[in-house]
């Protein structure tokens, strides 16, 4: 029998792990309010910080986001589009699912480097200003999407955030260049 949270098996999550949400929520539907998502995410983050510290928690959120971005891409996105059409498609899917409003500020076709913004970000829009970027899950999520599309490994870093006083989240993404020795 399949066990969703069997501790002995790594990388167990797949899109199928989400189950049949429409079948299971015939009356309530597939959507939940943003505050419920944030309540879940922020309380888990708080407990992880208590147990493992801030840096390890950030790493965990990035890795979880990357796994989610990869699964999201492979199950929701059409990865066969040319680059411009892909970004338009991604914009629409993110907006349709109330994740955020994506804008590509710059994409270098040669290096793969990218600067993008997400406004009305589900993770942070409306948070109080704390002076820190908080969208570590998004960093991983975007890296997973970019990797699924380009087949190149990415590192994505948030440089502007609602919590830093910006009204959009701005991310830079770069292809990780591996030294061949």
**114 conformational bin, left if phi > 0, alpha if psi -120 to 50, beta if neither:** beta
Q: Please give the pLDDT value at position 51.
A: 98
Is pTM beyond 0.75? Reply is yes
Strand partners, 118: 102, 169
Is position 7 within any domain?
no
Give the Cα separation of 63 and 97 in Å (integer).
22
- The verdict on residue 181 lying in a domain is no
Does the residue 156 lie in any domain?
A: yes
20 domain-assigned: no
Number of domains the chain is built from: 1
Residues 6+ apart with CB under 8 A from 144: 65, 66, 67, 68, 69, 70, 71, 72, 73
Cβ within 8 Å of residue 131, ≥6 positions away: 163, 164, 165
Looking at the domain assignment, is residue 27 inside a domain? no
pLDDT by 10s per residue, the chain, length 181: 455 556 555 667 888 888 899 999 999 998 999 999 999 999 999 999 999 999 999 999 999 999 999 999 999 999 999 999 999 999 999 999 999 999 999 999 999 999 999 999 999 999 999 999 999 999 999 999 999 999 999 999 999 999 999 999 999 999 999 876 5
- The answer as to whether 122 is a domain residue is yes
- For residue 13, the model assigns a pLDDT of 80
Write out the residue range of the structural domain in which residue 152 sits: 32-175
Helical residues (DSSP H) of the chain, grouped into ranges: 21-24, 34-52, 54-76, 83-96, 136-150
Residue 19 domain-assigned (yes or no): no
The CATH number of the domain where 163 resides is what?
A: 3.30.1380.20
Domain assignment of residue 1, yes or no: no
Residues 6+ apart with CB under 8 A from 170: 105, 115, 116, 117, 158, 159, 160, 161
């Amino acid at each position: 029998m399949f066990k969703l949270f069997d501790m002995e098996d790594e990388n167990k999550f797949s899109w199928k792990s989400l189950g049949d949400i429409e079948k299971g929520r015939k009356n309530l539907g597939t959507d939940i309010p943003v505050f419920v998502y944030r309540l879940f995410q922020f309380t888990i983050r708080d407990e992880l910080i208590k147990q493992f510290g801030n840096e390890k928690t950030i790493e965990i959120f990035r890795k979880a986001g990357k796994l989610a971005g990869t699964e999201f891409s492979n199950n929701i996105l059409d990865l066969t589009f040319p680059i411009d059409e892909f970004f338009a498609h991604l914009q629409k899917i993110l907006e349709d699912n109330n994740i955020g409003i994506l804008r590509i500020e710059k994409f270098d076709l040669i290096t793969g480097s990218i600067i993008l913004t997400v406004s009305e970000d589900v993770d942070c829009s409306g948070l109080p200003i704390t002076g820190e970027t908080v969208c570590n899950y998004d960093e991983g999520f975007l890296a997973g999407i970019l990797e699924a599309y380009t087949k190149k490994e990415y590192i994505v870093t948030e440089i502007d955030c609602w919590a830093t006083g910006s009204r959009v989240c701005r991310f830079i993404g770069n292809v990780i260049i591996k030294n061949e020795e």
